[in-house]
Structures are given as structure tokens and as C-alpha cells.
Amino acid sequence: MTETVLIADDHPLFRQALALAVSRVLPQARVIEAGTLAGAARALETAEGLKLILLDLKMPGAVGYSGIALLHAERPAVPILVVSSAEGAAAADEVRAFGAIGFLRKDSDLGAIEDAIARAISGAARAAPAVTAQPEDEIRETVAGLTPTQLKVLLAVLEGQLNKQIAHSLGMSEATVKAHMTAIMRKLDVRNRTQAALVARSLGLDLRH
């Protein structure tokens, strides 16, 4: 089976640079490119032999770390390496909390990117630094454990959409949306959609990097 790598970034030139790095590490790999989060999610539906996802946080359709959470939920066994211009020393820890295996800044040189790709596909990604567990860590794990559809519903709630709008955009009935919201609230241990949105927002899902 042909090995496949998905590159999800909205900048064509940077996708080209990442494709070059992939070709040097996996010469026979097939590269799939996506410029939006929705495009990346669609690519996952048909991608075979997927070895790695290279993901930018700043993509149309993504807010904060939602892209990681969504793609990880779609393909939990596929490593996600975030290559982004996101600022902040905590970014590396935060991307791991939502399912990525590592974080690399976009201003890294080609050699560093190639090394990170090689380590990611070999399963030798850099271990996360030891930190004292915080209350939000458990909530992050819960959010990262939502199903892809539940994540889509939660993100729509963050955008202020009503159940009727969510049902239309996701192609489901309002009753199904309500059922998903009930499941989301139960998992997040909150009583209403406003509290669910506040929890997601507090974890960075609503922060534009």
C-alpha cells in the first residue's frame, strides 16, 4: 500500500516546502494537500496508508486547537505534527494535549523539519516535558476524546449557531443535534450549551493564533 502524508496549510508556498521535506524523508510517499480544515477532514475520509498529518493551526475553519482535536478524532492512530507560527512557550504542550505528537515553528530550517518528520513517522517524537497535572488537563483529554461529529457541533456552538443552523450545516436533524449536545454536556460535566462553550473557549478552542 502506498504511504500517504497529508499536508494541511492554507499557504501554497509553505505546503510546497513541506512537500519537499516529506519527499526527502519518504521519497515514495504520496502527498495530499489541503488548504482548509474542512478540506483536510474530507481528505481523511479517503486517504489510504496515511502515515502522518502535517498541520498548521491557522487554517480557514479552525479556531485555536480545534483542527488538532478534529483530525485526531477522525484518525486517532495517525500522528499529527503541528508546524505553525503560533506564539507562546506553552504551544508545544497544548498541541499535545489535544492529540498532536509534536510542535515545530514555521521558521525552523528545512533540516529541522525533515528531522521532525522522520521522528514522527518512526514513533520517536520528542516526549512531552514532565509537568504537574492541572485540572484543565483532564478536561482537555475529554474534549480531545469527543467524536468528530461532537466536535463539529461544539465548534458550531462556539460560533453562536442555533440548533437549526447546526442541523442545516451538518446535514442532520435538530433532534440529532440535541442528542449530540446532550452527550457533549455529559462528557464535559456541564448543564447547558453556554457552559460547554465556556469550557471549550477556556481551553483555547476559540483562540485564533
pLDDT in the model for residue 124 = 55
| 150/132 Cα distance (integer angstroms) | 29
| 5/155 Cα distance (integer angstroms) | 26
Chain segment 73-102, per-residue pLDDT in tens: 888 889 999 988 876 567 777 788 788 998
- On the question of pLDDT at 128 being above 60, the answer is no
| 166/162 Cα distance (integer angstroms) | 6
Chain segment 141-150, per-residue pLDDT in tens: 777 778 888 8
Chain segment 30-78, per-residue pLDDT in tens: 999 999 988 998 898 888 889 999 999 888 877 778 888 888 888 888 9
User: Which residues lie closer than 8 Å to 130 by C-beta, 6 or more apart?
Assistant: none
Chain segment 133-189, per-residue pLDDT in tens: 455 667 777 777 788 888 889 888 888 889 999 999 889 999 999 999 999 998 888
| Per-residue cell: 141 | 483529554
Burial 49-70 (b: 16+ CB within 10 A, else e): ebbbbbbbbebebbbbbbbbbb
| Per-residue cell: 200 | 471549550
Say which residue, 80 or 132, is predicted with more confidence.
Answer: 80
| 45/71 Cα distance (integer angstroms) | 11
Counting every residue written for the chain, the total comes to: 209
Domains and CATH numbers, the chain: 4-122 (3.40.50.2300), 135-202 (1.10.10.10)
Strand arrangement of the beta sheet that strand 102-105 belongs to:
30-34, 4-8, 50-55, 80-84, 102-105
CB-count burial class (<10 Å; 0-12, 13-18, 19+) for 136: middle
| Per-residue cell: 124 | 520517536
Cα atoms in the Cβ-side hemisphere of radius 13 Å centred on 119: 15
At position 113, the amino acid (one-letter code) is I
Q: What is the pTM of this model?
A: 0.70
